[in-house]
């Protein structure tokens, strides 16, 4: 038995302790930061050199100045849009997960619903949005519903895939212990599904911001989406840019919140993944 | 339990597993039926190390799953410890070809999954789990994660997991099948030792003649499709066999007997033969040492 100790360790030993610190991460991001700086410089100088009018392409300094002039209004609108995003997304996350559990726990539910789900996923949700005005009127309800619909499908489908991803052998092993369905779900299937669920959540949150802005284009008199239309009508292109930046920043922030939760929840998975967002 | 010993099976020990005319048919995608296992009758004695040896697709894994109660039999019946198998047998340890450890748990937590799933107080099993990990050679790796272990070490952990509840019966489905040749050699030696220290009944599925002969008290040879028992060979080699088991005359006799059966069934085929010129060319160019090892 002593031979086992001399067995070579796999690459995993190293990988587990990879990504050691903030400095390391910063060093690896230096290259992309340089790229970003170059883009900003080109953007700042480009419009001047080409003599482009501000309403076509304002340089970043003009965008910043415009934002500073009405930052309160813009931030306020961004907050409204973000709450809609978050509300619809959280509803979708909860509902999707429960729905996915139902689908995988009953063959009948799966046969009845899975095909419809796949077809429905192809329907452009934005095309249904005008209907929501008919049904729910203006305001946060149609907005939230659209965000919900956008995020619902990717989260549900990845949660279903995740809940089915446990190895049949480990489930057989669990059956041979006489484990209850609940114990098998809680100790094996659910943890096994978490990486896929988080992937779905990340796709969901990016779609949620698209959903929120679209909903405000169509069915709202507030939020960044609504202001974007107003600013465009005034040919206030710098503020349009500022609005796009704001809402992108909000989306990015929420995305990173999910990443942080993921790191805390499933460190065993995150630590061995080669994720492009950390490269 | 004694009343379930089928006639002719007895070498003294009572039966652990009895298979009576067990068959398994699967529906095929074409609407027909495939006969995976056909009319298998077998008695596994308590404390026996029994191998089921056969080519891929001979239904040996199906047989194991039916014994474990994970698959229903189509015909016949199976008794484990005197009780007819109708649902998953719980007083059993199972080892698969893949270690199937849960990657979010440490090695120790993986071993403790067994009692945990059984709803037992895991604290009572910690000491035993640690002892087992030592005895399978994983001392110092209790708090490692499966990813940090080699394939052989992962399989050792899965064997510890199978043993932690101290089941009287161990079902192993090609547990050495995914390991590299050297690791496999070591694992076989260690497995024999582990078995000798316990008094467990082992049903060991394999497609390796070496593993079957070096580990088993009896080897059940399955014929390919539909899987049925072709021969049962007693392996009467002294234990522990360890690595030295190969030197024993009985090892070669058994290997040749099994090879002969596989040749007869077409599972193995003789080489088509080389011409005298081809052999001569090879022999001339080979160094003397090489000829020596081949002869």
Of B37-41, B171-175, B290-294, the one with minimum mean pLDDT is B290-294
Query: In this structure, are residues A144 and A88 in contact, taking their beta carbons and an 8 Å threshold?
Result: yes
Domain end call among B167, B188, B223: B167
Distance of CA B67 to the CA centre of its chain: 13
Radius of gyration of chain B (CA): 21
Question: A19 — alpha (psi -120 to 50), left (phi > 0) or beta?
Answer: left
CB of B109 less than 8 A from some CB of A: no
Phi and psi for B167 in degrees, rounded to 5? -75, 150
Same domain membership, residue B289 and residue B204: yes
Residue A183: closest C-alpha in chain B: B117
**Beta-carbon separation of B147 and A10 below 8 A:** yes
Bridge partner residues of A205 (DSSP): none
User: Domain tally for chain B?
Assistant: 2
CB of B113 less than 8 A from some CB of A: yes
Distance between CA atoms of residues B94 and B160, nearest Å: 10
- Distance of residue B190 Cα from the nearest chain A Cα, in angstroms: 6
Work out the number of other CB atoms within 10 angstroms of the CB of residue B66. 24
Identify the three-state secondary structure at position B196. helix
Residue at B187 is within a domain: no
Phi and psi for B50 in degrees, rounded to 5? -115, 130
Residue at B28 is within a domain: yes
Identify the three-state secondary structure at position A129. helix
Same domain membership, residue B68 and residue B87: yes
Same domain membership, residue B87 and residue B204: yes
Domain end call among B167, B183, B211: B167
Task: Indicate if ipTM > 0.95.
Answer: no
CB of B136 less than 8 A from some CB of A: yes
How distant, in Å, are the alpha carbons of B51, B163, B167, B171 from that of B91? Answer: 20, 11, 5, 11
Q: What's the pLDDT at B286? A: 56
Diameter over CA atoms, chain A: 79
Pairing of β B218-223 and β B49-53 = parallel
Name the residue facing B145 among A184, A191, A268 (closest C-beta).
Answer: A268
Same domain membership, residue B87 and residue B97: no
- Which candidate in A3, A177, A183, A262 is best for mutational testing of the B interface (most B CBs within 10 A)? A177
Higher pLDDT among residues A268 and A196, named by residue: A196
Q: What's the pLDDT at A138? A: 82
Q: What's the pLDDT at A137? A: 83
Domain end call among B167, B190, B222: B167
Residue at B173 is within a domain: no
- Eight-state DSSP code of residue A223: H
- pLDDT tens by residue, A88-133: 999 999 999 999 999 998 888 888 988 888 888 888 888 888 888 8
Bridge partner residues of B22 (DSSP): B40
Q: What's the pLDDT at B285? A: 59
Confidence label for B67 from pLDDT (cuts 50, 70 and 90): very high
Same domain membership, residue B210 and residue B136: no
**Beta-carbon separation of A170 and B137 below 8 A:** no
- Distance of residue A265 Cα from the nearest chain B Cα, in angstroms: 10
In sequence order, which ranges of B200-248 are alpha helices (DSSP H)?
Answer: 209-215
Residue at B174 is within a domain: no
Same domain membership, residue B273 and residue B223: yes
Q: What's the pLDDT at A20? A: 55
Residue at B186 is within a domain: no
- Distance of residue B78 Cα from the nearest chain A Cα, in angstroms: 16
Task: Tell whether the model's pLDDT for residue B35 goes beyond 90.
Answer: no
Distance of CA A255 to the CA centre of its chain: 5
- Could you tell me which residues of chain A have a Cβ less than 8 Å from any Cβ in chain B? 1-5, 7-10, 12-13, 15-16, 167, 169-170, 172-180, 183-184, 187-188, 191-192, 266, 268-269, 272
Residue at B56 is within a domain: yes
The arithmetic mean of pLDDT across residues B251-271, rounded, is 82
Q: Which domain holds residue B81?
A: 2-91+199-294
Residue at B239 is within a domain: yes
| Domain containing residue B62: CATH number | 3.40.50.300
Segment 161-200 of chain B within 8 Å of chain A by CB: 165, 183, 186, 190, 193
């Amino acid at each position: 038995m002593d031979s086992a100790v001399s067995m070579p360790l796999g690459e995993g030993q190293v990988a587990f302790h990879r990504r050691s610190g903030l400095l390391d991460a910063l060093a690896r991001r230096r290259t992309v930061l340089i790229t970003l700086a170059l883009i900003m410089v080109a953007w700042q100088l480009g419009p001047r050199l080409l003599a482009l009018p501000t309403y076509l392409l304002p340089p970043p300094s003009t965008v910043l100045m415009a934002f500073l002039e009405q930052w309160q209004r813009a931030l306020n609108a961004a907050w409204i849009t973000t709450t809609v995003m978050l509300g619809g997304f959280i509803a979708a996350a909860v509902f999707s997960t429960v729905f996915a559990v139902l689908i995988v726990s009953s063959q009948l539910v799966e046969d009845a619903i899975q095909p419809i789900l796949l077809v429905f996923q192809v329907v452009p949700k934005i095309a249904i949005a005008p209907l929501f005005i008919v049904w729910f009127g203006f305001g946060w309800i149609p907005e939230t519903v659209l965000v919900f619909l956008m995020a619902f499908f990717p989260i549900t489908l990845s949660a279903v895939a995740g809940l089915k991803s446990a190895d049949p052998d480990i489930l057989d092993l669990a059956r041979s212990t006489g484990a209850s369905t609940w114990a098998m779900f809680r100790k094996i299937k659910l943890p096994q599904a978490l990486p896929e669920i988080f992937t779905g959540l990340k796709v969901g949150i990016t779609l949620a911001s698209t959903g929120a802005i679209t909903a405000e284009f169509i069915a709202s008199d507030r939020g960044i989406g609504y202001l974007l239309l107003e600013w465009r009508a005034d040919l206030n292109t710098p503020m349009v840019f500022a609005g796009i930046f704001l809402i992108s920043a909000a989306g990015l922030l929420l995305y990173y919140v999910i990443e942080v939760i993921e790191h805390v929840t499933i460190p065993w998975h995150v630590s061995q993944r080669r994720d492009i967002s950390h490269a | 339990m004694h009343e379930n010993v089928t006639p002719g099976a007895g070498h003294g020990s009572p039966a652990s597993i009895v298979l009576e005319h067990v068959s398994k048919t699967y529906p095929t995608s074409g609407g027909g039926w495939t006969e995976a296992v056909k009319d298998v009758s077998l008695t596994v004695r308590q404390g026996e190390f029994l191998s089921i040896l056969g080519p891929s697709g001979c239904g040996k894994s199906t047989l194991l799953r039916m014994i474990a109660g994970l698959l229903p039999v189509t015909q016949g019946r199976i008794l484990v410890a005197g009780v007819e198998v109708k649902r998953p047998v719980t007083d059993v340890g199972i080892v698969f070809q893949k270690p199937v450890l849960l990657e979010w748990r440490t090695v120790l937590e993986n071993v403790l999954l067994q009692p945990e799933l059984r709803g037992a107080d895991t604290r009572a099993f910690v000491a035993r789990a640690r002892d087992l990990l030592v005895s399978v050679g994983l001392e110092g790796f209790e708090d490692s994660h499966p990813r940090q272990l080699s394939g052989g070490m992962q399989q050792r952990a899965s064997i510890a997991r199978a043993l932690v509840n101290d089941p009287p019966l161990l079902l192993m489905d090609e547990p050495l099948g995914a390991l590299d040749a050297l690791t496999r050699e070591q694992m076989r030696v260690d497995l024999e030792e582990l078995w000798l220290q316990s008094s467990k009944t082992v049903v060991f599925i394999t497609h390796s003649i070496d593993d079957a002969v070096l580990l088993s008290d009896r080897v059940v040879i399955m014929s390919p499709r539909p899987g049925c028992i072709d021969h049962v060979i007693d392996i009467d080699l002294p234990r522990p066999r360890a690595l030295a088991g190969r030197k024993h005359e009985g090892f070669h006799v058994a290997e040749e007997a099994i090879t002969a059966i596989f040749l007869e069934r077409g599972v193995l085929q003789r080489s088509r033969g080389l011409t005298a010129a081809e052999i001569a060319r090879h022999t001339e160019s080979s160094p003397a040492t090489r000829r020596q090892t081949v002869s």
